[in-house]
């Protein structure tokens, strides 16, 4: 049996669009049509909210342990189907198979972790202000949640949102990216097999994301919207949620600085930069977007780093040993090309790459640029591609000022062997996530999220479940 049906999941049933319309899911490595998926209208989407609303009281009334048992079965099924899920991710999204397997493990880890965390939702008993009063603060699920998820992690961004929501007792309507709906449908099918009651998880597929987004944000029965995607779309959703004063989590764009100080361990910094920059061909919100290198180590870093970049294998993610797959679509590739052309025209030099790759129309060569400056587009915009722009700096304060000179504030990284500098820079960087001597910061146990225009709220760790809970204060008068 196939791992998914090319339909939407509403109230435990696989359904097509009322119009019968479908849309094509394309393999970005080959341009082939992978599947035709139900193209639901904004109106069709209302049935998913109806289902989530109807399922909410019963799901919320289960004990945390009962919900955890179902979540745990879901985790086991995702893990058992690692290979099939990884192949699906590679086929519809393009990332190398080895990375896709890593994404399945990463995505499953949220289900496992929040299954446990749901059993540790505690309230407070507060010392009262009067002798005949008793004061409690209990935590309750917020209600129906809409999870709007991106294409770059078609599995992990769903489980990172949905697992804490379900563990807290909420029901959900997922709107996966129209580029990558198949992985979403597969994980929903596995949730069904795990015994998820009808209506607890609903998944709406459709091309008209703005119209569906409007229904999800406009319906007052949806009490929380959680979104990962661009800052531009996040701002639209933020405005739309205002009318019904919804709770909102936004995980938006980044412009991550990756700073290498003179006193860094060079080999470690090169390893970290490779992982941080080229994971998912540079298509993550936490990828290094600007590599700032201090003058004393600059030339040695550029030499060692570009030697590694030149050796990277660019190929269809299904090819053995592929390290860089295609970009997601023509718009994504055009942006990368424009950023590189702009930098070269303004005086940067390509040490390697700097042009499209002949593996296929959506492939771009891993690129290292030196002599990059603040006036180039890639200094202020997220490139979202396999391009490593290197900036030179002299002083610590200069690096911090350059790093913070952006409206974004998601992730920042730096390499140093000096303990005092570690604390100074950690505290001075205006970001929600800081990697020190590491290029990979993502884990289910820690609070992931940004400041400034990179978003609101945190996902993962104990902070991640709080986003789906309301605090209810009770003041109880007693007779003495």
Question: Which of 153/364 has CB closer to ligand SIN?
Answer: 153
DSSP 177: -
Question: Judged by CB under 6 A, does residue 183 bind ligand SIN?
Answer: no
At its nearest, how many Å lie between ligand SIN and the CB of residue 136? 36
> Residue 203 catalytic?
no
Q: Is residue 152 near ligand SIN by the rule CB under 6 A?
A: yes
Nearest residue to ligand SIN, scored by beta-carbon proximity: 442
- Segment contacting ligand SIN (CB under 6 A): 136-144, 282-290, 303-311, 320-328? 282-290
Q: How far apart are the C-alpha atoms of 116 and 424, rounded to whole Å?
A: 36
Q: Is 159 in the site for ligand SIN (CB under 6 A)?
A: no
Q: What number of chain residues touch ligand SIN (CB under 6 A)?
A: 8
Contacts of residue 341, defined as CB under 8 A and 6 or more positions apart, other chains included, come to none
Stretch binding ligand SIN (CB under 6 A), from 37-45, 114-122, 284-292, 398-406: 284-292
Q: Which residue has the tokens 């009063």?
A: 133
442 lines the binding site for ligand SIN (CB under 6 A): yes
155 by Cβ neighbours in 10 Å (0-12 / 13-18 / 19+) ranks as buried
289 binds ligand SIN, rule: CB under 6 A: no
DSSP string, 410-477: SEEEEE-S-HHHHHHHHHHS--SEEEES-S----TTS-B--SGGGEES-BSHHHHHHTTEEEEEEEEE
Q: How far is the CB of 1 from ligand SIN (least distance, A)?
A: 30
CA 242 to chain centroid, in Å, comes to 23
Using the rule CB under 6 A, which residue among 284, 365, 367, 383 binds ligand SIN? 284
Residue among 147, 188, 260, 286 that touches ligand SIN (CB under 6 A):
286
Q: Does 228 bind ligand SIN (CB under 6 A)?
A: yes
Which has the closest alpha carbon to 86: 331, 364, 322, 366? 322
CA dist 431 and 452 (Å) reads 8
Which of these ranges, 193-201, 261-269, 280-288, 417-425, lies near ligand SIN under the rule CB under 6 A?
Answer: 280-288
Choosing from 285, 287, 453, 467, the catalytic residue is: 285
Site membership for ligand SIN, residue 202 (CB under 6 A)? no
Q: Which among 35, 99, 189, 251 is annotated as catalytic?
A: 251
- Give me the helix-helix angle, 64-80 and 156-168, nearest 10°: 160
Q: Return the exposure string of 271-305: e unless at least 16 CB atoms fall within 10 Å of the residue's CB, then b.
A: bbbbebbbbbbbbbbbbbbbbbbbeebbeebbebb
285 binds ligand SIN (CB under 6 A): yes
Q: Which stretch binds ligand SIN (CB under 6 A): 39-47, 85-93, 278-286, 321-329?
A: 278-286
> What is the C-alpha separation between 411 and 409, in angstroms, rounded?
6
> Does 251 participate in catalysis according to the annotation?
yes
- Strand (E) positions, 349-427? 349-352, 367-370, 387-393, 411-415
Q: Catalog residues that contact ligand SIN under the rule CB under 6 A.
A: 152-153, 228, 251, 284-286, 442
Residue numbers annotated as active site = 251, 285
């Amino acid at each position: 049996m196939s791992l998914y049906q090319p339909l939407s999941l509403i109230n435990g049933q696989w359904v097509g669009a009322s119009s019968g319309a479908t849309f094509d899911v394309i393999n970005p490595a080959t341009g082939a049509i992978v599947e035709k998926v139900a193209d639901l209208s904004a109106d069709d989407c209302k049935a998913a909210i109806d289902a989530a609303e109807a399922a909410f009281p019963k799901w919320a009334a289960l004990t945390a342990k009962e919900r955890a048992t179902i979540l745990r079965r879901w985790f086991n099924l995702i893990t058992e189907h690692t290979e099939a899920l990884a192949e699906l991710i590679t086929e519809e999204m393009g990332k190398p198979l080895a990375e896709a397997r890593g994404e399945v493990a990463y995505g499953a880890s949220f289900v496992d972790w929040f299954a446990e965390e749901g059993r540790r939702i505690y309230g407070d008993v507060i010392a009262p202000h009067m002798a005949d009063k008793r004061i409690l603060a209990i935590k309750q699920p917020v209600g129906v949640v809409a999870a709007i998820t991106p294409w770059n992690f078609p599995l992990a961004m769903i489980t990172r949102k949905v697992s804490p929501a379900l563990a807290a007792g909420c029901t959900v309507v997922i709107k996966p990216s129209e580029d990558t709906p198949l992985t979403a449908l597969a994980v929903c099918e596995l949730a069904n097999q795990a015994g998820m009651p009808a209506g607890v998880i609903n998944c709406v597929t459709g091309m008209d994301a703005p119209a569906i987004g409007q229904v999800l944000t406009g319906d007052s029965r949806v009490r929380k919207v959680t979104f990962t995607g661009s800052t531009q779309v996040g701002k639209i959703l933020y405005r739309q949620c205002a009318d019904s004063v919804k709770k909102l989590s936004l995980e938006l764009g980044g412009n991550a600085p990756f700073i290498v100080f003179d006193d860094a361990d060079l080999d470690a910094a090169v390893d970290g930069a490779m992982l941080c920059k080229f994971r998912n061909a540079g298509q993550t919100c936490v990828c290094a977007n600007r590599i700032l290198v201090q003058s004393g180590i600059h030339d040695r870093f550029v030499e060692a780093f570009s030697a590694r970049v030149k050796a990277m294998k660019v190929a269809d993610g299904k090819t053995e040993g592929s390290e860089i797959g295609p970009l997601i679509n023509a718009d994504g590739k055009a942006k990368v090309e424009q950023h590189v052309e702009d930098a070269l025209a303004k005086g940067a030099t390509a040490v390697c790459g700097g042009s499209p790759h002949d593996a296929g129309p959506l492939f771009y060569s891993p690129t290292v640029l030196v002599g990059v400056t603040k006036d180039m587009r890639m200094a202020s915009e997220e490139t979202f591609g396999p391009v490593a722009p290197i900036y030179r700096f002299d002083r610590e304060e200069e690096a911090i000022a350059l790093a913070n000179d952006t409206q974004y504030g998601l992730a920042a990284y730096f390499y140093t062997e000096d303990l005092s500098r570690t604390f100074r820079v950690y505290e001075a960087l205006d970001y929600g996530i800081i990697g020190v001597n590491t290029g990979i910061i993502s884990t289910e146990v820690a609070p992931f999220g940004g400041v400034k225009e990179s978003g609101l709220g945190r996902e993962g760790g104990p902070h991640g479940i709080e986003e789906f809970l309301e605090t209810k204060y009770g003041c109880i008068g007693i007779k003495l």
